[in-house]
Amino acid sequence: MAKIAILGYGNLGRGVECAVKNSPDMELVAVFTRRDPSSVKIQTAGVPVLNVAEAPNWKDKIDLLIICGGSATDLPVLTPEYAKLFNVIDSFDTHARIPEHFANVDAAAKANGHIAMISVGWDPGLFSLNRVYAASILANGKDYTFWGKGVSQGHSDAVRRIAGVKNAKQYTCPVPEALDAVRSGKNPDLTTRQKHTREVFVVAEEGADLARIENEIKTMPNYFSDYDTTVNFISEEEFKANHSGLAHGGFVIRSGKTGWNNEHSHIIEYSLKLDSNPEFTTSVLVAYARAALRMKAEGVTGCKTVLDVPPAYLSTLSDEELRAHCL
């Protein structure tokens, strides 16, 4: 049984706890938190919740630490720091900063003989895998990633910071006509606006200027100004009833040609439809935790990503079982 610990007990930490419960080859041995441990109630019986300051004392009692934190400020600090003490895995998802994060984590992990796996989840993660597989196979082609329909936490937060907004949720939606055009093999050039729309549901404070709020949302640079955005003002009750979930999903599609004169078209499509983004993301994390420990047992150290992992390493089945039953 691999001894797994969690650092950070929010949506992701809770998801890891569920995924470890479903893994016959793993057991949860500790949860570390930056909050007061007595304020954190976990679901697994008999597992201690400890202040993160105690983590170094667990150096020899944990096979792998799953770091559950935000990509903006938490993971760039935490993952290199804890890669010095443990084998670690994170879901760092700021695409533009992956090379920098990789370098920092790689140095810390290698210097201490650990394996570290970063940017594990579905994008980056499973979507990245599919982009690489499809582009390697259909060399002459074009790929498209669509997200949604699903909740963007960052965009919801940005709306909540507007004066007069009590609560808000933002959904990213792929444009059906754009998806159809891609699937038809037309290889369209699509602008940001043509690929996705944004739907916002806002609970406004009493007496707030709704027209001003709507305008501030729609013109917000980077977040909304490049998109067609719909703003809906709703009651607190409707918000709770219909907009409490964390569903998400998306599509990776590659359209490519083969043949001596590029006469044949092919479409590779990968899609996810997820009721719970954090629980799915952490299910991916836990499968890659298994792979990381297998690679470590073979002597691999340093930082790795999903692109470095043989698919068989994710499975609880042996190579022989996989060849006989899944290949």
61's tokens: 């009692």
The residue (of 85 and 267) whose beta carbon lies closer to its own copies is 267
Q: Quick count: other Cβ atoms within 10 Å of Cβ 6?
A: 27
Residue type, 195: K
Contact code string over 252-291 relative to its own copies, x by CB under 8 A: ------xxx---xxxxxxxxxxxxx--xx--xx--x--x-
**Strand 165-174 with 196-204, pairing:** antiparallel
**Count of helices and strands (H, E) across the chain:** 11, 14
Q: Which is nearer to its own copies, 51 or 187 (CB)?
A: 187
Q: What is the DSSP letter of 316?
A: S
Q: How far is the CB of 306 from its own copies (least distance, A)?
A: 7
**Beta bridge partner(s), residue 70:** none
Helix, strand, coil shares of the chain as percentages rounded to 5? Answer: 40, 25, 35
Question: In the complex with its own copies, which residue's Cβ is closer, 44 or 112?
Answer: 44
Residue 206 or 325 having the CB closest to its own copies: 325
Residue 312 lies near its own copies (rule: CB under 8 A): yes
Work out how close the CB of 253 gets to its own copies at its nearest, in angstroms, rounded to a whole number. Answer: 10
| Total residues found in the chain within this entry | 327
- Residues that bind its own copies (rule: CB under 8 A) add up to a total of 67
DSSP single-letter state for residue 119: S
- Within positions 160 to 219, which residues make up the interface with its own copies, using CB under 8 A? 183
Tell me which of 43, 215, 219, 242 binds its own copies, using CB under 8 A: 43
107 is a site residue for its own copies (CB under 8 A): no
- Rounded to 10 degrees, the C-alpha dihedral 299/305/310/312 comes to 100
The answer to the question of residue 320 lying near its own copies (CB under 8 A) is: yes
3-class state of residue 222 by DSSP = coil
Give yes or no for residue 319 binding its own copies (CB under 8 A).
yes
Helix 74-82 to helix 98-111 angle (10° resolution) is 20
In the region spanning residues 70 to 99, those forming contacts with its own copies, defined by CB under 8 A, are 95, 98-99
Contacts of 103 (CB under 8 A, 6+ apart): none
The residues pairing with 141 across neighbouring beta strands, listed in sequence order, are 256
Question: Residue 99 CB, nearest distance to its own copies (Å)?
Answer: 5
Q: How far is the CB of 68 from its own copies (least distance, A)?
A: 15
Q: Which of residues 137-166 bind its own copies (CB under 8 A)?
A: 137-140
SS3 248: strand
CB atoms closer than 10 angstroms to residue 273? 12
Note whether 15 binds its own copies by CB under 8 A. Answer: yes
Among 21, 59, 61, 166, binds its own copies (CB under 8 A): 21
Which residues form the interface with its own copies (CB under 8 A)?
15, 17-19, 21-23, 43, 95, 98-99, 102, 119, 124, 126, 128-129, 131-133, 135-140, 183, 258-260, 264-276, 279-280, 283-284, 287, 290, 305-312, 314-316, 319-320, 322-324, 326-327
